[in-house]
Amino acid sequence: MISPHTPPSSPEPAPRPADSPRARRALGAALTAGALGATAVLVAAGQVWGEGTAVLARGEVPVRVEGGEVTGLPSALALVGLAALVAVFAVRRAGRALVAALLALCGAGTVAAALLGAGDRSALEAKAAEAGGLTRGVVEAVSFGPWPYVAALGGAGLLAAGLLALRHGSRWPAMSGRHERAGGAGPACGTGPPGCGFRVPGRIPSQCVTVCPDKPRARRRGPSQPGRGPLA
C-alpha cells in the first residue's frame, strides 16, 4: 500500500556565513597567498644562495651552494604548510583552528630559517673543505644572492594564509559538506500509520511516500468433493 504524503513546510534556511563577501575574499586571499608562498619557497630552495672562491694549495676554485645545502628547513616547512593549507578545508571547528595555527607557524619558521641562511658562510666553507680534502676551508670573495629573501617572502605568504584561516576559517565551507547534505535524513515526513514507514524518492524529494507492508493473504480453498479432501 503506497500513498503520497506531503512533508510539512519548513522555514527557509538562513544564509550560510561562508556566503558573505568578506569571507569569500579572505578565502581567496588565503588560498592565493599560501599556494604562491609555498611555490616561492620551493623554487628558491633550488637556487644558488651564495658563491665564493676557495683558496687551496693548488690554487683557487670557485664554489657555490644552493638553498637546500645551506638549510633544508624552509623547503620542509613549505611542504608541511602546503599540506596544512589543504587540510584546513577537511576539518572543522577546533581541528580547523589547530591546522590554521600550524600553517601560521610553518610560515613564521620559514621566514626565520631563510633570513638566518641569507648570510651563512658555513655551507661555503664546508664546500671548500670538501674540494681541498681538508677539515676546514677558506673562502674569499663571498657573495650572496637574493633567493633567501624570496624564500622569506614566500614564508610570509604562508604566515598570512595561516592568520587569515585563524581569523575567518570558521566561516569557510568544508570539503565534506556536500556529502553530508546528500546523505542527510531528508525532509521531516511526520508520523505514518502504525507498522508503516517512509520512502523518499530521488535525491531532492518534493514529497514523502508512505510504504506499508502487505498483509499475508489467506490461502483459498475450493469446494470439497466426495472421496477427496479439500482442494488447496
What's the CA gap between 31 and 10, in Å, rounded?
36
More confident residue, 216 or 47: 47
What's the CA gap between 68 and 65, in Å, rounded?
8
More confident residue, 50 or 15: 50
Instruction: Give per-residue pLDDT as tens, 8-35.
Output: 554 444 444 445 788 788 888 999 999 9
**Reduced to 3 DSSP states, what percent helix, strand and coil does the chain have, rounded to the nearest 5?**
50, 15, 35
Q: Give the contacts of 172 (CB within 8 A, at least 6 positions apart).
A: 18, 23, 26, 27, 88, 89, 96, 165
Residues recorded for the chain: 232
CA 87 to mean position of chain CA atoms: 3
142: Cα within 13 Å, side-chain hemisphere = 19
* pLDDT for the residue numbered 95: 87
32: Cα within 13 Å, side-chain hemisphere = 6
* β-strands 48-56, 59-66 pairing: antiparallel
More confident residue, 209 or 117: 117
Instruction: Give per-residue pLDDT as tens, 139-159.
Output: 777 888 899 999 999 999 999
What's the CA gap between 203 and 192, in Å, rounded?
21
232: Cα within 13 Å, side-chain hemisphere = 0
Instruction: Give per-residue pLDDT as tens, 91-134.
Output: 888 888 999 999 999 999 999 999 999 988 888 888 878 776 66
Classify 23 as helix, strand or coil. helix
Instruction: Give per-residue pLDDT as tens, 163-204.
Output: 999 988 788 877 654 444 444 444 444 455 554 554 544 444
Contact of 145 with 48, CB cutoff 8 Å: yes
Q: Which three cell numbers stand for residue 169?
A: 576559517
Q: Taking the alpha carbons of 183, 187, 191, 195 in that order, is the dihedral positive or negative?
A: negative
Residue 228 confidence class, pLDDT cut points 50, 70, 90:
low
* pLDDT for the residue numbered 149: 96
Q: Which three cell numbers stand for residue 128?
A: 671548500
Contact of 69 with 46, CB cutoff 8 Å: no
